[in-house]
Amino acid sequence: MKLLPILILLMLSFHSIAGVEYKKFEDPQKEQAYRVLIDELRCLVCQNQTIADSNADLAKDLRRQVYEMLEKGQTRDEIVDFMIQRYGDFVMYNPQFKAKTGVLWVAPFIFLLVGFILVWFMSRRKKMQENSQANDQQKAQQAKVRKLLDEGDQS
Amino acid sequence: MLKFVIPLILFLVMAVFLAMGLSLNPRDIPSPLLDKPAPDFSLPILAEPDKILSKADMVGKVWLLNVWASWCGSCRAEHPVFNELASKNIVPIVGLNYKDDPWAAKQWLAQLGNPYQVSVMDQEGRTGIDYGVYGVPETFVIDKQGRVRYKHTGAVTWNDVQQILLPWVKQLNAEI
């Protein structure tokens, strides 16, 4: 069965390499930075693709921009700032944490917390119900026993 | 009773948020350039490529920068609106001919009319990147000091001109 591994390999998609022009880097570190950066920047024309994935003209231009800035020796942060200054926070798939984007980052944790609190309340209520039910049963049994005992006394 | 009220409230809250989401235009991304100096450019003029127009040439005037291209369908749709606006001589319109073939661009203006005081060529789209252009057509309102005060993404209608662009121009002309 050599077919299976081959099939699995075929199913992997090398999305950040496919369909994009080749950029030549002398410095492998810069090449790595380029790969990472173009995978983090959003193509604003086709909004749910990174500029690494997109064939849109704008994505091509932005890749060229990233490439040129890296070759000029600019850092990742400088490039990210450059893009945000022009296109806004939306251009990053992981926007920087600031007042404007805070809700985006914090909201999931708030929802999680609310969820936990809800579960805790519900489980507590259920337990209390079970307890009181058990109490009722116990009382009913005791009453029955007493009744039987009382009846026994009469005979 | 509570059993029905809580899901109902949850549903209503979700419905309201979803309705809000539906009415938003995801293409309308707020420009970070608002109230900031418009990026500098020095680009060859479409009609006379050996001459150059830069942002500095427009200082002291309120003007519109309209990003257009002959390959862009919505530009064709908004073109008559700019022709009409230009005929009123209220505000100079500068065209940023974005990633276009100069011959096709000139042809386009000859056919459809030329509302632009001047058009400059941004063949590589670098000025476009500086202005955060992501979908042509886009229109910027720039004040006397060269700051971007308003950005319109997509085709401008005559309604937009009357209700948004002209009030902006009026207000900015009144500023010193």
The answer to whether residue B125 neighbours chain A at the CB level (below 8 Å) is: yes
pLDDT of residue B22: 86
Tell me if B125 and A90 make a contact (CB, 8 A cut-off). Answer: no
Q: What kind of fold does domain A14-96 have according to CATH?
A: Helicase, Ruva Protein; domain 3 (1.10.8)
Which among A47, A65, A86 is the nearest to B132, CB-wise? A86
Report the pLDDT averaged over residues B145-171: 94
The residue among A139 and A21 whose pLDDT is bigger is A139
Tell me if B30 and A88 make a contact (CB, 8 A cut-off). Answer: yes
Which residues in chain A have Cβ-Cβ distances shorter than 8 Å to B98?
none
Report the pLDDT averaged over residues A125-147: 89
Which among A45, A58, A88 is the nearest to B31, CB-wise? A88
Q: What percent of chain B has pLDDT over 70?
A: 100
Per-domain boundaries in chain B: 32-174
pLDDT of residue A17: 52
pLDDT of residue A154: 61
The answer to whether residue B124 neighbours chain A at the CB level (below 8 Å) is: yes
For the cut 90, the answer to whether the pLDDT of residue A153 exceeds it is no
The answer to whether residue B9 neighbours chain A at the CB level (below 8 Å) is: no
pLDDT band at residue B100 under the 50/70/90 scheme:
very high
pLDDT of residue A110: 94
Report the pLDDT averaged over residues A32-60: 89
Task: Pick the closest to residue A88 from B27, B76, B9 (CA basis).
Answer: B27
Tell me if B129 and A88 make a contact (CB, 8 A cut-off). Answer: no
Q: Which residue has the tokens 């955060």?
A: B132
Which DSSP string do the residues of chain B spell out, in sequence order?
Answer: -HHHHHHHHHHHHHHHHHHHHHHS-TT-PPPTTTTSBPPP-EEEBSSSTTSEEEGGGGTTS-EEEEEE-TT-HHHHHHHHHHHHHHHTTSS-EEEEEES--HHHHHHHHHHH----SEEEEETTSHHHHHTT--SS-EEEEE-TTSBEEEEEESPPPHHHIIIIIHHHHHHHHH--
What ipTM is given for this predicted complex? 0.82
Which among B124, B132, B134 is the nearest to A45, CB-wise? B134
Report the pLDDT averaged over residues B123-134: 94
**A63-97 per-position pLDDT tens digit:** 999 999 999 999 999 999 999 999 988 899 888 88
**A1-36 per-position pLDDT tens digit:** 678 888 787 777 655 555 567 888 888 899 999 999
**A105-122 per-position pLDDT tens digit:** 899 999 999 999 999 999
Residues 11-70 of B with CB under 8 A from A: 26-27, 29-33, 39
Architecture of the B32-174 domain: 3-Layer(aba) Sandwich (3.40)
Report the pLDDT averaged over residues A34-47: 88
Comparing alpha-carbon positions, the chain A residue that sits nearest to B127 is A86
Which residues in chain A have Cβ-Cβ distances shorter than 8 Å to B130?
86
pLDDT of residue B76: 94
The answer to whether residue A127 neighbours chain B at the CB level (below 8 Å) is: no
Per-domain boundaries in chain A: 14-96, 98-155
Specify whether the CB–CB gap between B33 and B74 falls below 8 A: no
The answer to whether residue A86 neighbours chain B at the CB level (below 8 Å) is: yes
Report the pLDDT averaged over residues B30-50: 92
Tell me if B129 and A90 make a contact (CB, 8 A cut-off). Answer: no
User: Which amino acid, B144?
Assistant: K
Query: What mean pLDDT is reported for chain B?
Result: 93
Tell me if A45 and B33 make a contact (CB, 8 A cut-off). Answer: no
Structure tokens at B151: 């950005």
For the cut 60, the answer to whether the pLDDT of residue B108 exceeds it is yes
Q: Which range (A8-12, A14-18, B29-33, B150-154) has the least confidence? A: A14-18
